[in-house]
Amino acid sequence: MDARLNPLGSTVMTKVFKHLIAANRLLAESTLPSATQELVKLRASQINGCGFCVDMHFKDAAHAGETTRRLNLVAAWREATVFTDAERTALELAEQGTRLADGAGGVTDEVWAQAAKYFDEEQLAALVCLVSVINAFNRGNVITRQPAGGYQPGQHG
């Protein structure tokens, strides 16, 4: 597959992506566990069909020590026994926040209340922002057909 547009070759897209990258760096420094962050980014990218981001977040998570067993089960997290209750809740929130058009009202009060049991207010804010940022990246990459498979861990880091 050939990309329709090189994000780094466009002045506008480069500037916007730099802001998204800066936001992602701030989130990486938050108290939301980094393993949870990578699982959420991977799951949202799977839902959105962003091969570039699936490749990137799978590789970055594996490079950071995440097991391939857990990474391979992210797409089937509901049936998997390898995730903590907090991670499962974050994955559910990420799914509902990503599939806005599929459900009435986005993230349900039940899922929000469950998330509030595991994450403090700053972590919840980071989780909301994380879902927002990864969805923005996914959409830009899918629309411009960024190819998957060539990413090296830490390449955009």
Q: Residue 39: helix, strand or coil by DSSP? A: helix
Element holding 104 (H helix, E strand)? none
- Which residues of the chain, if any, have pLDDT below 50? none
Predicted pLDDT at 157: 58
Give pTM, 2 decimals: 0.94
Predicted pLDDT at 102: 84
Angle at 44 between CA 10 and CA 121, to 5 degrees: 105
| End-to-end CA, the chain | 24
Predicted pLDDT at 96: 96
Looking at this protein, which amino acid is placed at residue 1? M
Element holding 32 (H helix, E strand)? none
Predicted pLDDT at 80: 98
Residue whose tokens read 């806005």: 100
CA 59 to chain centre: 13
The two counts, helices (H) then strands (E), for the chain are 7, 0
Tens of pLDDT along 123-135? 999 999 999 999 9
Domains in the chain, ordered, with CATH? Answer: 9-143 (1.20.1290.10)
